[in-house]
A and B are shown apart, each in its own frame.
Chain A
Amino acid sequence: MSRIRLSIARTLVPLGVVFGVFAVIAAAARTNVMHQSPDRQRFASEVEPVVLQVDRLFARKWSEAGVTPANPASELNVLRRLSQALHGTVPSLEEIRVFEADAGPRKMERWVERMLDDRRFADYFARRLSRVYVGADDGQFVLFRRDRFWAWLGEQLQKNEPYDQVVRQMIAERGLWTGVPEVNFITSTVSEGNIDVNKLAGRTVRAFLGQRIDCAQCHDHPFANWKQGQFEGLAACYGQVSLSAVGVEDNRNKPYSVEDRMTLKPRDVAPAVPFGADWFPEEGTERQRLAAWVTHPQNRRFERAIVNRVWGLMFGKPWQGPVDDLSDPDERGPQPDDLLDVLGADFREHHCDLKRLIATIAATHAFRLSSEHLDFEVPERAIVVEESWAAFPLTRLRPEQVIGSMLQASSIKTIDQNSHWVRRAFRFFQELNFVKEYGDLGDNELGDHSGTIPQALLRMNGEFAKDRSEGNPFSAPGRIASMAPTDDGCLDLCFLVCLSRYPTAVERAAILPQLEGTTNDNRKSAVEDIFWTLYNSAEFSWGH
């Protein structure tokens, strides 16, 4: 009797588990908030003073350069920019419809906040920042878990934890890389079982202080003030780190020594910082001391670095480039004409609030400018406009932004945390494959890259682009072909989902005839071809 019960139990228990899992997923697919306009505007009025300061700074800059700023961009254009910068994709048709219907006050401010509260922001931004903190290489899987690190960083962003605290955790935490994911900052530099303290030192300064000390590893920096001894002192701050069965630890008895390049003999090096010695506390492990120094309230390089990077993520181009090679802050203190100081000071005053920083930047006049400017027809004037930020810059989107955009454009519904898990898994794996073929840009974030022929071929002839423009009953192209009430409406929808705008009169005149009078398969083909065209336009792959 009991054996029968056991075998029944053996069948039922797994079934029960499966059923339970489905029940949980079903419960999680709650009502979609996408159909309602956002109503929260926590930041809007708070950031007004600093936004005004920034706007005045730009007005002075433009006046000095003798340029007029571009016209304001259309609201849909700004929405697209925000989607790409914060979510790595384009606004869905659903979002566009609700956005167009929203006639309330402070519309952009409310939409920025909604986008920041959306889980997609935390996921995408965590991914972008992760490349900076743990690099783009695979590392040693057993000791380095990028996936855990992403998830942890995403959590910190979602909860909007103070950024200085997040950084201190990355530098100084102890524990196992699976259970305490922030230590992957340390283990990402492991090769052949050893932590590379030099790589860590270089990365700490680049990622958190926005400067490059790497050259000083081997010799005194040729044109900045770094000396080799300073580099060694910083590397020594990681000298106690060891890997053990319980993870990353600080071994207080371990002295740090380097091989002297001249004598080839070992030389002990004490932990030291290259500037701001007052900010380097006496107490704590060496990593804790380093963490305190990096994030010290008076270490202006800290906020300048993150402001520069966030500006870069939003505009596609950092305020000062290269993004991790900033000039030294002015010794006299924060300068009213230095954008990084203005935004940096506000950032510090408000507990290193990243979402607030993003909301501030999104509210500035400069962020809302069009990327069109009369002077862009004239090469000599174009460079003046570009250098003074008198128009929104044209920058190449990252591979995952291009694929994210294609995936969303080919889907009527918004792909977000409310989407069916199958759809999200699909997105994840498609992205991986596409990025692999398209070519990862590595950890050179925000560098200048022009497209390549294989990428163009992939976009034009690749399976992925073919799938994404296919007019089947479940895809946007298919649904638009069969269900849009008029030819004009059909054309509008194609442009809206791909380019977040309506067709111009010239475009309409040229393309509408291809839809007129078509039905069924011919119509499907016509819509597929329009999607193909829009995917392959510069407008689709470039941020503007």
Chain B
Amino acid sequence: MTAWNSSRREFLRLSAAALGLSFAVPGLELRAANVRGVERKKSLLTIWLAGGPSQLETWDPHPGTDIGGGDTGVRAIQSTIPQVQIAHLYPQTAEQLHHVSVIRSLVSKEGDHERGAYMLHTGYKPEPTLVHPSIAAIATHELSDDRVEIPQSISLGNPPFPPRGGFLGDKLDAYRVFNPGQNGQNLRPNVSNDRQQRRLKNLEVVSQSFRRGRGVQVDQTLHQHTVDAALRMMTSEQLKAFQVEDEPAAVRDAYGRLPFGTGCLVARRLLEVGVRSIEVCLNGFDSHAKNMEAHVNRAQELDPALATLFKDLAERDLLQSTVVLVIGEFGRTPKINPLLGRDHWPTGFSCLLGGGGLRSGALLGATDHTGEKVMPESPVEVADLYATVLQTLGIEYAKEVITPIGRPMKYCSGSPIETLLASSVR
């Protein structure tokens, strides 16, 4: 394992300078998190529960009812939010719930996985004429930070529909790390340093030839800029944030050693470096059959990781500057199907939202315990959820941008949920 330590980086920097190369590595402080508290730009952390987590087996149990699964269904346990009880599958999270608020009445009307994921990433329905940027991309675009040398929108795990840049550009697509805890894809050169230098030196020469007679056009391709950014990333100290070897074993155990738990730990490290948008994905919630079994199984990974994450963020003073959202593309039907499963349910599902200065400990909305009513009480539109998130991040949620096709489009078509906004925000 080659050790990409600071002396190697210094060497590269000096040799770059000596060769007059364009990708000279700038100096910077290792951790943007040295500036903490209210002055920091805020980040967005999404825990994405792929497949559609059942609200009844997570944050909105209805114990003892038919829809709750009767005697074999979940029981409810008290959380640290007085009026909120959650499924007994989440004892650790219950102890940390006071860091966030609970919404039980999300409505989206998109019951298809791809359309639902699109809606829950962008706040818009899919359209034929353009692709909306994800909220993660908007945050990265509006709050970009030059001090961060690694991508500022990152996806950990294997979501089927990762956050995209849409009409804001592909460069805002989330950088994907399929195996959290190991480095991202393709970060190490395949050859020795000498050969790498020779390659890069030759590249300069060939690029110069191509640029002759094509100056402006070649510059507009941003090809060199992208190569430089990639090189910068490859030699960055901040890459260490992707690895967890130097974390104490106790911490790694608390999060859980499987990819999702490790992903949450990596997410915390990335937040410390100053990454703007992070999504950690846990798969396996699409329980059309054997719903209870599936959710018991998922909770074994989700509960410790989530609880440890909340606790860790709070202890490290990262919670004030990080909006945390725990959500999936829709919920699941109150009525249990013949395969003991639940199907898709986009009208009346749950999420957890907190951090970033948002009000914590609140409860919004309620679902009907008979499962007869389609709409929940106090429905919350997805667009309004994201208007709240954007406002909290310090972004003008209704800002209109002109898309490449000439059509004006607002970042978000909703309005913030007043009861969730703390008065000190903005």
Contacts and interface: CB of A to CB of B under 8 A. Distances in A.
Interface stretch (A180-188, A282-290, A456-464): A456-464
B111 to A, nearest CB: 9
Contacts of A530: 202
Interface residues of A, number: 62
B171 A453 contact: yes
A461 B188 contact: yes
Interface stretch (B138-146, B222-230, B366-374): B222-230
A386 B220 CA distance: 12
A537 B203 contact: yes
Interface stretch (A5-13, A118-126, A258-266, A367-375): A367-375
Contact of A450 (B171, B188, B203, B213): B171
Nearest to A461: B186
B198 A529 contact: yes
Contacts of A511: 202, 205
B112 A191 contact: yes
A192 B112 contact: yes
Nearest to A386: B217
B212 interface: yes
A525 B195 CA distance: 8
A379 interface: yes
Given A325-B405, A460-B230, A461-B190, A376 B209 contact: no
Contacts of A510: 201-202, 205
A534 B210 CA distance: 11
Contact of A454 (B175, B217, B234, B405): B175
B188 A536 contact: no
Contact of A374 (B201, B213, B223): B213
Nearest to B211: A538
B224 to A, nearest CB: 7
B217 A382 contact: yes
Contacts of B151: 453-454
A145 B206 CA distance: 44
A462 B186 contact: yes
Given A394-B217, A450-B226, A454-B186, A539 B210 contact: yes
Contacts of B114: 137
A322 B128 CA distance: 14
B129 interface: yes
B83 interface: no
Interface in B82-141: 112, 114, 127-129, 131
A107 to B, nearest CB: 25
A544 B209 CA distance: 13
Nearest to B223: A538
B176 interface: yes
B167 to A, nearest CB: 10
B227 A452 contact: no
Contacts of A454: 151, 173, 175-176, 185-186
Nearest to A373: B213
B129 A451 contact: no
B26 interface: no
A457 B234 contact: yes
A264 B381 CA distance: 21
Interface string B184-197: 11111111000100
A510 B229 CA distance: 25
B426 interface: no
A64 interface: no
Contacts of B175: 453-454
B129 A215 contact: yes
A30 B221 CA distance: 43
Nearest to A465: B190
B404 interface: yes
Contact of B213 (A202, A376, A537): A376
Contacts of B212: 372
Nearest to A378: B216
Determine which residue in A191, A373, A449, A461 has the highest number of CB atoms from chain B within 10 A of its CB, and name it: A461
Contacts of B171: 450-453
Nearest to A212: B129
A444 to B, nearest CB: 8
A514 B198 contact: yes
A394 to B, nearest CB: 4
A376 B214 CA distance: 5
Interface in B233-276: 233-234
B28 interface: no
A447 B131 CA distance: 12
Contacts of B223: 451, 538, 541-542
A108 to B, nearest CB: 22
Interface in A217-238: none
Given A454-B176, A457-B234, A532-B199, A371 B214 contact: yes
B218 interface: yes
B170 interface: yes
A514 B205 CA distance: 14
A396 interface: yes
B297 interface: no
A439 B185 CA distance: 14
A246 to B, nearest CB: 27
A529 B198 CA distance: 8
Contacts of B220: 394
A365 interface: no
Determine which residue in A377, A379, A457 has the highest number of CB atoms from chain B within 10 A of its CB, and name it: A457
Contacts of B173: 439, 452, 454
A199 interface: yes
B2 interface: no
Contacts of B217: 371, 376, 382, 386, 394
B69 to A, nearest CB: 27
B7 interface: no
Determine which residue in B112, B176, B209, B404 has the highest number of CB atoms from chain A within 10 A of its CB, and name it: B209
A466 interface: yes
Contacts of B72: none
B27 interface: no
B162 to A, nearest CB: 11
A382 B219 CA distance: 12
B37 interface: no
A199 B405 CA distance: 19
A376 B220 CA distance: 11
Given A379-B216, A450-B169, A456 B203 contact: no
A516 to B, nearest CB: 14
B173 to A, nearest CB: 6
A437 interface: yes
A507 B209 contact: yes
B170 A457 contact: no
A460 B189 contact: yes
A437 B185 contact: yes
A448 interface: yes
Given A448-B404, A449-B170, A457 B199 contact: no
B226 A539 contact: no
A422 interface: no
A32 interface: no
Nearest to A541: B223
B407 to A, nearest CB: 8
B230 A456 contact: yes
A533 interface: yes
Contacts of B213: 370, 372-374, 376-377
20 contacts: A214-B128, A370-B213, A394-B217, A437-B185, A444-B131, A450-B169, A451-B226, A452-B173, A453-B151, A453-B230, A454-B176, A457-B187, A462-B185, A504-B209, A510-B201, A537-B210, A538-B210, A538-B223, A541-B223, A544-B214
Interface of A: 137, 191-192, 199, 202, 212, 214-215, 322, 325, 370-374, 376-379, 382, 386, 394, 396, 437, 439, 442, 444, 447-458, 460-462, 466, 504, 506-507, 510-511, 514, 525, 529-530, 532-534, 536-539, 541-542, 544
Given A453-B229, A458-B186, A539-B206, 7 more contacts: A199-B128, A370-B213, A454-B173, A457-B184, A461-B187, A466-B190, A538-B224
Which 5 A-B pairs give the minimum distances between C-beta atoms?
Answer: A372-B213, A538-B223, A456-B230, A382-B216, A457-B186
